[in-house]
Amino acid sequence: MKHIVVLTGAGMSAESGIKTFRDTDGLWEGHDVMEVATPEGFAANPKLVLDFYNQRRKQLLEVQPNTAHLGLAQLENNHKVTIITQNVDDLHERAGSTNVIHLHGELLKVRSTHNAHDIQDWKTDLVLGDTCKKGYQLRPHIVWFGEDVPMIEKAVTICETADILIIIGTSMQVYPAASLMHYVPKSTPTYFIDPKPNIKSKNHLTVISDTATIGVDKVVELLKSKF
């Protein structure tokens, strides 16, 4: 049984209706990233930050996994599959994938501002005054800019065991996530799915210039014929 490691980014969920946070002007839903996705922004205006993520959470609960999510989940029928995602949505899990690593946190979870390991599920609005059992304010369970990425070491270890690598909907230019592709064993068959790829096919790398839904279908068929 082959171990397929999948790295996914915003393009994975775009066809489900999840907006990519950062627009072409560099703003996140009209906000500067420093206002809504940094510890400093939260300290300066916690209500604004909580409201921002409340809107993202509401949006997430209104959408469904797309066929690319479903296709990856079905790969588990014949392979060991580990998904390492930069996305904070739960669409991989809802599609049926059972082994998902969230590098940048999860929108449907919150954690204590006092203890980063005090995490709980959360599907409603989070407001000032919502506290953990010890009385500390809760915050979104999101890795903000300037914060450590606690799951990165586990992700590196997983990549080192990959027999096949699939990259979907990410430019692989945001670090530390971008470094992960360099940890897979040399000559590992790699499939890069992106409608506007910044690299070309060569050697063991196959570039598929399509959206996630079309590209995953193509990769699944390729894997059936080769493995």
Q: Annotated catalytic sites, by residue?
A: 104
Question: In the structure encoding, which two tokens stand for residue 225, read together?
Answer: 């014929």
Q: Inter-axis angle of helices 212-226 and 67-74, to 10 degrees?
A: 20
Q: What is the DSSP letter of 202?
A: B
Name the 3-class secondary structure at 97: coil
| C-alpha count within 13 angstroms, C-beta hemisphere, residue 114 | 7
Distance CA 174, CA 42 (A): 22
Quick one: CA dihedral 194, 67, 214, 21, positive or negative? negative
Distance CA 172, CA 12 (A): 13
Pairing of strands 105-112, 164-168: unpaired
